C-alpha cells in the first residue's frame, strides 16, 4: 500500500505573536514540523508532502535536507483548499493521510490504526472526546452511531455545540475517492473557506463508510496555536522522555526536572540523574554514571562509572571510564578524557586529550593540548594557545607535575617526569625529568616604609 502523507502547514499562526512561522516553533529543540515529519517517516512505503504558505521559504529552508515534496498554497483559503493544491501528485490507488504541521505529538501506532481502517469502501477519521470541545469541528452521528458529517464550531447550532466528540483534522482516504470529493468542495459557510471536513458528508452520501478512530490520549492530537499550548506540549513530551529513561533503568531525582532534547545512542544501567539536567543532541552514557544537578550534556560520550558533579557543561566531549568531572567544569568540543581523569572546579578543557589518571583539579584552562598519563596540573595553570592570530599546541608528557599558576606558551613541550615550579612562564621545551622554573628572585626590603594616607 503506497501512502501519500500531506502535512498541512500553511497557516500563519497569528496567536503565536511571532515573526517565525508557527510550525518552526520548537518542542525539545526540534520544530513542530520536524516532529510530524519524523513520525511520518516511520510509516512504511510513504511519501511525504508538506503544504506550505506563510513564511514559506523559511519553512522550506529549515528542512531542506529532508526528503520532502514541497507544495505551495499561495492563499490560505481553508484546509480543503490546502489539500486541493496537492491533487496532481495523488494517484487513485494511493492511501492519502492528512496530518497537521502544528500537531506534533501524534504517535505512529495511532496513524497505523487509522490507516488499517481505509480501503476503497472505507475512509478513516481520527476523533477524540474533549471535556471542552470549543473551537473544534463536531462529529455528527446518526441513531446507529454512524458518522454522518462534521459541523464546524462557527456553523454549529446550540445542540451541535454540545457534542463533545470532535474532529482532530487527521484523516485518511483512498486517492481516487478523495479527488472526487475535493472537486465538489465549496466555500458556502460561515468562514467562506473550503473545508476539508465537508468530504465526510460526501463520503457517506456516496456509500463510503467513515470509520472513526481514537488516539490513546487526547494530548496526542492537541495542536499548537499559542505559546501556552506550546509549553504544555513541551511538558507532555518531556514527561514521556522521563518515563522512557526510568523504564530503561535510570534513577531521576525528579522526573519533572530533567529535559531530553535529543536521543540516546546508548544508555547504561543504574545511571542516576539529579535535578535540572539537560540532555541535548545524541548522547551515549555507560553504566553506574552519576550526573549532578544543573548539568548540561550535549553530543557526548560518557563511559562507565563516571561522576559528573553539579553545574557542569559537557559539550561534544568524551569522558573515559571512572573519570570525575566538576563541580563547575566545562568540557568543550573535542575534550577527550581517558580513564580515571579528574577535572575539577572552574576548569575549562577544549580540543585536548588527557591520558589515564591525570588530574586538573582547580581553575585551569587546557586548550589545544596533549596531556600524557599520570600528570598533575596545579591550580591556575593556563595553556596560552592563542597569539591573537593562530592557535598552537601544548604537549605535556607522562608523569609531569606542573606547579600552580603556570603559563605554558604554546607551541611548547614539557618532557616526561618534569616538575615545573609554581608561578613559571614556560616558553621553551623542557628536558625530561628534573625541575624547570622561571621565576624572579625573591627579595625583602627591611627599611620599607608603608605609604601614609594623603591629607
| Cβ count near 191 (within 10 Å) | 13
Residue of this chain nearest to ligand UD1 (CB atom)? 137
Contact call for residues 423 and 439 (beta carbons, < 8 A): yes
- Residue of 5, 197, 305, 406 interacting with ligand UD1 (CB under 6 A): 197
Burial class of residue 274, CB neighbours in 10 A (0-12, 13-18, 19+)? buried
Determine whether 35 is an active site residue: no
Alpha helices in 213-295 (DSSP H): 227-247
Restricted to residues 206-245, the positions that interact with Ca ion (CB under 5 A) are: 223
Contact call for residues 398 and 416 (beta carbons, < 8 A): yes
Q: Which is nearer to ligand UD1, 133 or 322 (CB)?
A: 133
Kindly state whether residue 167 participates in binding ligand UD1, applying the rule CB under 6 A. yes
Kindly state whether residue 82 participates in binding ligand UD1, applying the rule CB under 6 A. yes
CB of 118 to ligand UD1, least distance (A): 18
- Residue of 21, 55, 101, 292 interacting with ligand UD1 (CB under 6 A): 101
Cα–Cα distance, 118 to 93 (Å, whole number): 12
Range in contact with ligand UD1 (rule: CB under 6 A) among 61-69, 114-122, 191-199, 361-369: 191-199
Range in contact with ligand UD1 (rule: CB under 6 A) among 8-16, 34-42, 59-67, 265-273: 8-16
Q: Which residue has cell 628572585?
A: 441
**DSSP-assigned letters across all residues of 327-363:** SSEEE-TTEEE-TT-EEEETEEEESEEE-TT-EEEES
Contact call for residues 243 and 250 (beta carbons, < 8 A): no
Q: Where are the beta strands (DSSP E) in 391-430?
A: 394-396, 401-402, 407-409, 412-414, 419-420, 425-426
Q: Is the dihedral of CA 148, 154, 155, 157 positive or negative?
A: positive
Q: Which is nearer to ligand UD1, 11 or 357 (CB)?
A: 11
Kindly state whether residue 196 participates in binding ligand UD1, applying the rule CB under 6 A. yes
- Cell digits of residue 183: 472537486
Kindly state whether residue 137 participates in binding ligand UD1, applying the rule CB under 6 A. yes
CB of 42 to ligand UD1, least distance (A): 20
- Residue of 4, 25, 81, 174 interacting with ligand UD1 (CB under 6 A): 81
Q: Which of the residues 25, 35, 342, 362 is marked catalytic? A: 362
Alpha helices in 23-169 (DSSP H): 32-41, 56-62, 79-84, 108-115, 158-161
Q: Which is nearer to ligand UD1, 83 or 354 (CB)?
A: 83
Restricted to residues 217-256, the positions that interact with ligand UD1 (CB under 6 A) are: 223
Cα–Cα distance, 375 to 355 (Å, whole number): 8
Q: Which is nearer to ligand UD1, 136 or 264 (CB)?
A: 136
Q: Which is nearer to ligand UD1, 36 or 277 (CB)?
A: 36
CB of 73 to ligand UD1, least distance (A): 5
Q: Which is nearer to ligand UD1, 191 or 282 (CB)?
A: 191
Contact call for residues 384 and 410 (beta carbons, < 8 A): yes
Range in contact with ligand UD1 (rule: CB under 6 A) among 71-79, 210-218, 268-276, 279-287: 71-79
Range in contact with ligand UD1 (rule: CB under 6 A) among 5-13, 88-96, 292-300, 420-428: 5-13
Q: Which is nearer to ligand UD1, 196 or 273 (CB)?
A: 196
Kindly state whether residue 150 participates in binding ligand UD1, applying the rule CB under 6 A. yes
101 binds, among Ca ion, ligand UD1, none (CB under 5 to 8 A by kind): ligand UD1
Report the DSSP beta bridge partners of residue 147: 141
Instruction: Please enumerate in sequence order all residues whose Cβ is within 8 A of that of 410, keeping only pairs 6 or more positions apart, or say none.
Output: 368, 369, 383, 384, 385, 391, 392, 393, 394
Say how many residues touch ligand UD1, by CB under 6 A. Answer: 27
Range in contact with ligand UD1 (rule: CB under 6 A) among 166-174, 249-257, 309-317, 346-354: 166-174
C-alpha pair distances (Å), 10 with each of 53, 73, 81, 186: 4, 7, 11, 19
Report the DSSP beta bridge partners of residue 314: 297, 331
Alpha helices in 85-226 (DSSP H): 108-115, 158-161, 175-182, 199-205
Kindly state whether residue 322 participates in binding ligand UD1, applying the rule CB under 6 A. no
39 binds, among Ca ion, ligand UD1, none (CB under 5 to 8 A by kind): none
Kindly state whether residue 9 participates in binding ligand UD1, applying the rule CB under 6 A. yes
| Cβ count near 120 (within 10 Å) | 12
Binding-site ranges for ligand UD1 (CB under 6 A) = 8-11, 51, 73, 76-79, 81-82, 100-102, 136-137, 150, 152, 166-169, 195-197, 223
Binding residues (CB under 5 A) for Ca ion: these are 223
What residues are annotated to the active site? Answer: 362
Amino acid at each position: 500500500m503506497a501512502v501519500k502523507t500531506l502535512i498541512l502547514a500553511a497557516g500563519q499562526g497569528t496567536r503565536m505573536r511571532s515573526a517565525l512561522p508557527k510550525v518552526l516553533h520548537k518542542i525539545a529543540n526540534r520544530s513542530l514540523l520536524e516532529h510530524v515529519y519524523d513520525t511520518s517517516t516511520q510509516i512504511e512505503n510513504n511519501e511525504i508532502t508538506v503544504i506550505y504558505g506563510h513564511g514559506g521559504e523559511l519553512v522550506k529552508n529549515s528542512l531542506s535536507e529532508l526528503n520532502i515534496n514541497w507544495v505551495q498554497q499561495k492563499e490560505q483559503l481553508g484546509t480543503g483548499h490546502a489539500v486541493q493544491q496537492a491533487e496532481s501528485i495523488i494517484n487513485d490507488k494511493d492511501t492519502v493521510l492528512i496530518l497537521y504541521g502544528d500537531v506534533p505529538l501524534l504517535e505512529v501506532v495511532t496513524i497505523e490504526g487509522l490507516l488499517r481502517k481505509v480501503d476503497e469502501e472505507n475512509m478513516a477519521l481520527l476523533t477524540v472526546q474533549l471535556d471542552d470541545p470549543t473551537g473544534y469541528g463536531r462529529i455528527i452521528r446518526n441513531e446507529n452511531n454512524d458518522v454522518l458529517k462534521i459541523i464546524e464550531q462557527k456553523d454549529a447550532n446550540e445542540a451541535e455545540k454540545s457534542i463533545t466528540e470532535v474532529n482532530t483534522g487527521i484523516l485518511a482516504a483512498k486517492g481516487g475517492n478523495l479527488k472526487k470529493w475535493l472537486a465538489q468542495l465549496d466555500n458556502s459557510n460561515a468562514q467562506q473557506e473550503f473545508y476539508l471536513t465537508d468530504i465526510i458528508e460526501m463520503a457517506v452520501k456516496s456509500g463510503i463508510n467513515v470509520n472513526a478512530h481514537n488516539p490513546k490520549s487526547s494530548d496526542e492530537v492537541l495542536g499548537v496555536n499559542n505559546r501556552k499550548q506550546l509549553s504544555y506540549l513541551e511538558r507532555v513530551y518531556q514527561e514521556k522522555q522521563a518515563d522512557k529513561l526510568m523504564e530503561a533503568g535510570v534513577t531521576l531525582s525528579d522526573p519533572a526536572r530533567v529535559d531530553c532534547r535529543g536521543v540516546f545512542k546508548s544508555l547504561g544501567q543504574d545511571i542516576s540523574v539529579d535535578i535540572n539536567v539537560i540532555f541535548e543532541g545524541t548522547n551515549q552514557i555507560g553504566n553506574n554514571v552519576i550526573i549532578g544537578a544543573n548539568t548540561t550534556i550535549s553530543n557526548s560520550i560518557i563511559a562507565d562509572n563516571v561522576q559528573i558533579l553539579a553545574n557542569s557543561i559537557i559539550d561534544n566531549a568524551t569522558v573515559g571510564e571512572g573519570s570525575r568531572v566538576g563541580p563547575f567544569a566545562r568540557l568543550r568540543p573535542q575534550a577527550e578524557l581517558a580513564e580515571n581523569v579528574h577535572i575539577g572546579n572552574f576548569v575549562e578543557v577544549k580540543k585536548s586529550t588527557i591520558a589515564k589518571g591525570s588530574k586538573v583539579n582547580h581553575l585551569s584552562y587546557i586548550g589545544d593540548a596533549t596531556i600524557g598519563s599520570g600528570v598533575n596540573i596545579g591550580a591556575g595553570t593556563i595553556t596560552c594557545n592563542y597569539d591573537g592570530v593562530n592557535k598552537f599546541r601544548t604537549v605535556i608528557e607522562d608523569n609531569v607535575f606542573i606547579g600552580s599558576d603556570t603559563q605554558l606558551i604554546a607551541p611548547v613541550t614539557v618532557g616526561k617526569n618534569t616538575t615545573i615550579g609554581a608561578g613559571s612562564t614556560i616558553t621553551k621545551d623542557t628536558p625530561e625529568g628534573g625541575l624547570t622554573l622561571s621565576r624572579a628572585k625573591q627579595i625583602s626590603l627591611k627599611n620599607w616604609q608603608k605609604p601614609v594616607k594623603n591629607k
